[in-house]
Amino acid sequence: MSDQTDNLPAASGPGSALTPADSGGTPQAGGVPAPRRSSKVHRRRKRRQILGGLADGDHSFDGVQHKLTVVIEAMGAAVDNLEGLDRRARATAKEASSAANAIAHAELDETFVGMTQEVATAQMEAAKAVRKMLRAAQQAKKDAYAVRRAHAKLYGALHRVRKGRKYRTPKPDFFSR
């Protein structure tokens, strides 16, 4: 049986008619029809965790360096994607503009020329917005590199000392008792 006919009630014999109560769903125990399911499509949203695990509470030197590396990699991926999107948006804007010129050259109605010019203008605005996002992602990546270098410069020596010890470092205020 196909998927479409699975939900249909079973065909009765010749000469018999189905009552409206019979077509409400499959009967449950006691002869009561089951409620119909909503025909609304439920889609589960897939949430990507690009920077997953950044709020894990690990504030150790290695943990912070790892988090900054993850941010740098994510910004690098965003820059790569936005560069491709920027190229495609600019190419589409040029194509729309040349299509508007071709329509004008073919002496079509001014309505179509104007509509095509509006599309070309909107595409150019979208391309400018993509370029702005690209610059922001590039700057964020550059800043994340700078933060990682500064963190390593400030806390790297302390991390090496603590890592080289045989015993654990006492908690703050241990010696002030």
**Spatial distance between the Cα atoms of 135 and 65, rounded to a whole number of angstroms:** 24
- Look over the chain and give the mean of its residue pLDDT values, rounded to a whole number: 80
pTM of the model: 0.59
The pLDDT value recorded for residue 172 is 76
Is residue 58 scored above 60 in pLDDT?
Answer: yes
Residues 153-162, mean pLDDT to the nearest whole number: 89
HSE-CB at 86 with a 13 A cutoff on CA atoms is 15
**Spatial distance between the Cα atoms of 150 and 164, rounded to a whole number of angstroms:** 22
Share of the chain above pLDDT 70, in %: 68
**Spatial distance between the Cα atoms of 140 and 135, rounded to a whole number of angstroms:** 9
Coil, strand or helix at 128 = helix
CB 113 within 8 A of CB 103: yes
Owner of token pair 């125990």: 29
Is residue 123 scored above 80 in pLDDT?
Answer: yes
The pLDDT value recorded for residue 43 is 63
Please name the residues in contact with 34: beta carbons below 8 A apart, sequence gap of 6 or more: 24, 25, 26, 27, 28
The pLDDT value recorded for residue 164 is 85
Look up residue 63 and give its two tokens: 């943990």
